[in-house]
Structure 1
């Protein structure tokens, strides 16, 4: 499933065509994806202007006239394709290749951006685990999808003191605590593995062991908060570089694996300077965890 950096990269790739554009036409090619589309989905979109394109956790949020927000989730295999008369391109950087098979094109938005030619943005999803729905901006924070979400990991709210307080009584493994969307929204398996490797923290240790007694930030929680943000920023920057620099001959964006330090590197030497350990894979809560038992304590 695309994680926060991939979704943020998609958002940045779509901003130029969505923001300020008028949705002159929408096409809905099936009744449902993971969930049914809202009633009158197309009619409620057509003819309205898109004010902005944001993100909350792993959701894309298009603010539209008349207090509407178009909520979009990529699911397991969803992607967007931007088409003009001259080009076709796919914004985003994913660890696994996205589909271009047109039989999986389920939604299309015809947009008229200000001072630019009209474009067509197509949502393609072979496995149909993604979804789209509509909500009111004025009540978005209490929407069932968002009301229990924790803080955004890229903001200043994520710091050592915050993690210390939230981990204080948690005896669950550190990795499980970081994947709890009620604490930090948007963190996924790949980047939690990477952040824990950067911090030198064992994913198996209890979360409360790094929180200290006072509720203030500790060296471990401060380092972890920093490394979470740094890991995400580096991944987003890699996506941005791909958007600018890696374009295939057919006009589509180049996709390549992130250079991971721990994730998916089972049996390979640890990349930490001075460490002679080997990356191991274990299973936690039915998910693969990759870490170095020699330097992650």
Structure 2
């Protein structure tokens, strides 16, 4: 409320939202402080730092470097370009990675599985494509890898359609036509949600820098779920002829999720 109407900020205090937000911030901030402090400790010269063995024999060599170490490199480097990340900036970037790079991917995966459960013909077609892509010389492979994704055009189409129907960050990107129109020979009725291919990741200068990583991550996760398991249809919610087995009602927030938790039964596929 405070961000929308500052003069109504007292409502957040009265309802307890202000205190809850502060407690959440303090918990997350404390966690990030500990993560950064642990990395700085390991990077110090001497026992437990700078690649030298510590008391349990573990080192901090390049094999143990991660994303936080890269951010600390920028924080500690001497340069004339004025590029230097402070601790608060490092915390913000880490939160961006977890919030924007993890929550949105799991949300898209959940919506994709829900839509596929409600469209069994498309589920079977997609499973046939995924399993067919690993047939032949790759039949002994235990998992779908990135090199297989180019053989799965229908998988990419399913994920694109999922993001069109259920954009994971709806406050940023949904668009819909205001009137009936025609585009490239196709009739588009008014109020049709239209997302270009890159729109789920934003566009222009505010575009998501992780788009090239997020897309194959979701593709690999969904492909492996469909490759290794068969998914029997759950009992339809609410009953009734023609009722879809999965309730697609939404619950709103910074990301839009299924209102009812998606509970499915996975049967291992033995090939």
TM bucket by the smaller chain? under 0.3
Q: Higher relative contact order at CA 8 Å, sep ≥6: structure 1 or structure 2? A: 1
More strand per residue: 1
- Higher helix proportion: 2
Tell me the TM-score normalised to structure 1 length. 0.22
Question: TM-score w.r.t. structure 2 length?
Answer: 0.24
